[in-house]
């Protein structure tokens, strides 16, 4: 499967859990045939329980439901929580659920970091929001700032085809979807947006998302705004940002100023001198932790997805972004990001940049060389073939444990 631009889509920006969760839960409640959901994190809190309610209700009324969770991001769901779903017929899988070694999790690398929902092959959600209460503003100072999109139109067919391609034992479903996809080509387009679904895997699409960022920066004429939670990208992307700024493009970068992990701020600040001296405007978002992975260029290009601009997302994790050509959507996201800058950010200047000492210079040089050679270094990491683990329904309603049956997926692009 190759990414392709699709015309005639309707795309709506969803900001934070307040907009995202009600839209997803309502779509699941209205589903008639098929629900597929994959996410990095699903916590057993008030948000996770509401998702549980929606999925359980869909399964009980006869909707086919499949769930894929990352084994590293979602290791703590209780047996009872999962067994209720599998007993109702939900196909519930974990991506690479490796057992702890000496109390430590070993599946740190090659995570399934995508966040995708597809409803009846007609409606999809793509973005960076996980299913946890920390994406709600009432969570407190640690509530995350994040984005997703609600999508209707021909690009949903590509998203669903991608989903089916990465699941084992779905030949019948693939045939059903092939017929449905052929029939859907005659439907009227629900909108005017042009969209491209892109992903990163460890096979044929290792650098697709990064390449589209590089192409965007090379083509920019007036303005670029990138908001990214975990910013420690490769040398090529840093160089492209500086090149765009030096030829007169107003390049703005929004990073975490109140990070959920302190090392995030330390890493980003190693890059401040290089970027700011090259003309890039860098802003630290201070209201709460930034979790978004979005960007806009000029008046027509935008992207929303799961991919951070750091070594994990760009070289190891499974990621998915939607790239959008639409002036209306671009303006909506642009206005949102500018509001963040104007109300909740501080611009990085000389007072915030690391001092030009030999120690800081040494750290910066080491960081740059690490970033430049990271893809090659990844090849030295212990390699393994991640597996999908299907959670079998309990044999007896009262059983307190669950058995997981390992299922190889030779067709998946892991």
Catalytic: 144?
A: no
> What is the separation of C-alpha 366 from the centre of its chain, rounded to a whole number of angstroms?
28
Tokens of 140: 């407190």
Tell me the angle at which helices 235-246 and 208-219 cross, rounded to the nearest 10 degrees: 10
Is residue 115 flagged as an active site residue?
A: yes
Q: For 186, which DSSP code? A: T
Q: Which of 52, 144, 205, 293 is flagged as catalytic?
A: 293
**Catalytic residue (one of 34, 52, 115, 144):** 115
The active-site residue out of 120, 207, 208, 299 is 120
Write the DSSP assignment of 283-332 as a string of letters. EEE-SS-B--EEEEETTTEEEEES--BSHHHHHTSBEEEEEEE-HHHHHH
Annotated catalytic residue within 34, 91, 113, 252: 113
DSSP-assigned letter for residue 98: P
Burial of 280 (0-12, 13-18, 19+ CB in 10 A): buried
Burial zone of 80 (CB within 10 Å; 0-12 exposed, 13-18 middle, 19+ buried):
exposed
Per the annotation, the verdict on 96 as an active-site residue is no
Candidate list 146, 291, 334, 344, residue with the active-site label:
291
Q: Which two tokens stand for residue 44?
A: 């057993």
Q: How far is CA 68 from CA 51, 164, 286, 318, 400, in A?
A: 14, 12, 33, 13, 22
Which residues, 6+ apart, have CB-to-CB distance to 247 below 8 Å? none
Place of tokens 């030779």: 410
Phi then psi for residue 231, to 5 deg, are -105, 105
Give 333's strand partners. none
The question of whether 298 is a catalytic residue gets the answer yes
Q: Under a CB-based contact definition with an 8 Å cutoff, are residues 148 and 126 in contact?
A: yes
Number of neighbouring beta carbons within 10 Å of residue 16 = 20
Clarify whether 291 is annotated catalytic: yes
Tell me whether residue 293 is one of the annotated catalytic residues: yes
- Catalytic residue of the set 45, 207, 298, 299: 298
CB contact at 8 A, 363 and 297: no
Catalytic residue ranges: 113, 115, 120, 291, 293, 298
């Amino acid at each position: 499967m190759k990414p392709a631009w699709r015309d005639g889509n309707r795309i709506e920006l969803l900001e934070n859990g307040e907009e995202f969760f009600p839209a997803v839960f309502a779509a699941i409640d209205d589903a008639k045939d098929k629900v597929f959901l994959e996410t990095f994190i699903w916590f057993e809190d008030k948000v996770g329980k509401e998702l549980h309610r929606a999925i359980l209700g869909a399964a009980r009324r006869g909707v086919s439901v499949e769930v894929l969770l990352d084994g590293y991001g979602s290791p703590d769901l209780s047996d009872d929580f999962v067994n209720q779903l599998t007993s109702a017929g939900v196909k519930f899988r974990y991506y690479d659920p490796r057992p702890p070694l000496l109390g430590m999790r070993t599946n740190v690398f090659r995570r399934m970091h995508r966040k995708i929902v597809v409803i009846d092959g007609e409606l999809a959600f793509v973005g960076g929001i996980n299913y946890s209460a920390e994406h709600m503003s009432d969570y407190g100072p640690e509530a995350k700032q994040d984005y997703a999109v609600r999508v209707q139109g021909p690009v949903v067919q590509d998203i669903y085809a991608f989903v089916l391609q990465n699941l084992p034992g779905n030949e019948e479903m693939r045939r059903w979807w092939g017929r449905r996809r052929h029939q859907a080509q005659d439907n009227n387009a629900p909108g005017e947006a042009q969209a491209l679904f892109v992903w990163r895997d460890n096979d044929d699409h290792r650098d697709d998302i990064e390449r589209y960022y590089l192409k965007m920066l090379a083509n920019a004429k007036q303005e670029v705004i990138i908001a990214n939670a975990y910013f420690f990208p490769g040398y090529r992307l840093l160089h492209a940002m500086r090149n765009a700024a030096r030829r007169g493009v107003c390049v703005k970068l929004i990073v975490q100023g109140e990070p959920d992990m302190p090392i995030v701020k330390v890493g980003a600040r190693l890059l401040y001198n290089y970027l700011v001296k090259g003309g890039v405007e860098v802003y630290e978002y201070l209201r709460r932790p930034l979790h978004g992975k979005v960007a806009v260029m000029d008046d027509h290009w935008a992207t929303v997805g799961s991919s951070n601009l750091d070594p994990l997302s760009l070289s190891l994790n499974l990621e998915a972004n939607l790239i959008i050509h639409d002036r209306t959507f671009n303006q909506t996201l642009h206005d949102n990001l500018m509001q963040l800058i104007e109300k909740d950010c501080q611009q990085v200047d000389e007072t915030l940049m690391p001092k030009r000492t030999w120690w800081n210079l040494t750290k910066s040089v080491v960081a740059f060389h690490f970033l430049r050679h990271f893809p090659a270094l990844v090849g030295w990491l212990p390699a393994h073939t991640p597996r999908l683990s299907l959670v079998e329904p309990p044999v007896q309603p009262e059983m307190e444990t669950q058995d997981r049956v390992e299922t190889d997926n030779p067709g998946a692009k892991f």
